[in-house]
Structure 1
Amino acid sequence: METSKVIVEHIFLLVIVTLFSVLQNAFFAVKLEREGKGGNATAFERVSCAVRNCMDAYPTFLAVMWCAGLCVSQGPAAFAGILYLVVRQKYFVGYMGQTSQSTPGFMFGKRPIFFLILMCMVGILNYLLGHFYGRCYKAQLETLTSVVAALLLIP
């Protein structure tokens, strides 16, 4: 029982962000359904396109967030995940208005994904260094990613 508690502590933040992302997807689906029943073809087409765009990037987001959280540190990975979900919401709402309103959300959304990809690559490199050369920099990486994650907020 104690082992499962330790495992859950190492992934708890990632689980919470994943749950929020699932709830956000449910919101998108409800919005799409409502627009479909509304009879406005252009509004439905916009919402449908926004949902498709969000769903296209969703598997990548989940994969890199979990990889970064498991390989380096769950705190910065979860922070970047929450930031990505906020940006994705901004993109979705902007797309429902006019497609040009979604551009800021789209552009800013690349930053958390890029950060998570870098975390994954650095985590994998750290694992390989530890495995082949006996050098592990996990503590330093956790500190570095915590500091760099805060920089994601700079516009």
Structure 2
Amino acid sequence: MDHEIVGDIVLLAVVTLISVIQNVSFAFKVENESKNQHSRSFQRTGTPAYEKVYTANQNCIDAYPTFLAMLWCAGVFCSQAPAAFAGLMYLFVRQKYFVGYLGEKTQSTPGYIFGKRIMLFLFLMSLAGILNYYLVFCFGSNMEKYIKTISGTISPLLLIP
């Protein structure tokens, strides 16, 4: 495989693999809680603890395809490093959301809101990269350096709660 191409996507692949590990750990938590309620199947109803773990896992699974699509679009079309940073931040926030959901449901709200902000950032990066592609294609004007500079400058601002 060409090292230049691999170098352009390696951070995105690492974030994707970390997200897979996180999904597996969430699934194990659902399985363990299912065993604690002495049921042979994964049901929606059960003990309150099982329902919390199951619902938190389902909520994370529902947003996962959107996250992956935006992560890869932002990284490929705009800039890999800020997209990977935002992806890692999203995984941290998703963990915070999951753990917060297991406590009081209001504890998950900061993680949810923070996650929405990171998804918006990835979406805007993707949009900027795709628009730049069409600017180059149609008008020959390349704004890639500016877009990468702006996204690299803005990405640390994701740390502000």
Q: TM tier, shorter chain?
A: over 0.9
What's the counterpart of residue 153 of structure 2?
A: 147
C-alpha RMSD over aligned residues: 0.9
Of residues 106, 129, 146, the one that matches 1:123 is 129
Identify unmatched segments of 5+ residues in structure 2: 38-45
- Structure 1: gaps (5+ residues): none
- Give the one of 96, 101, 105 matched to 1:95: 101
- Extract structure 1 runs of 4+ deviating beyond 3 A: none
Name which of 56, 70, 80 aligns with 1:50.
56
Q: 1:64 aligns with which of 63, 70, 73?
A: 70
Alpha-carbon deviations, 1:2-23, whole Å to 9, x = none?
A: xx11110000100000000000
Instruction: Say if 2:149 is the partner of 1:136.
Output: no
In the alignment, what sits opposite 2:41?
none
Query: Please, which moves more after superposition, 46-55 or 138-147?
Result: 138-147
Bigger proportion of residues as helix: 1
The residue aligned with 2:17 is 19
TM-score between both structures, scaled by the size of structure 1: 0.96
Counterparts of 1:154 and 1:36, CA distance in 2: 37
Alpha-carbon deviation of 1:47? 0.4
Identity of aligned residues (%): 54
Count of residues in correspondence between the two structures: 153
**Which residue identity lines up with residue 12 of structure 1 in the other structure?**
V
Letter in 2 for 1:49: T
Q: Check if 1:74 corresponds to 2:80.
A: yes
Note the C-alpha offset of 1:143.
1.0
**What SS class does the counterpart of residue 159 from structure 2 fall into?**
coil
SS in 2 for 1:79: helix
Give, in angstroms, the shift of residue 71 of structure 1.
0.3
- Are 2:10 and 1:36 aligned? no
Q: Which moved more, 1:18-27 or 1:100-109?
A: 100-109
TM-score normalised to the size of structure 2? Answer: 0.93
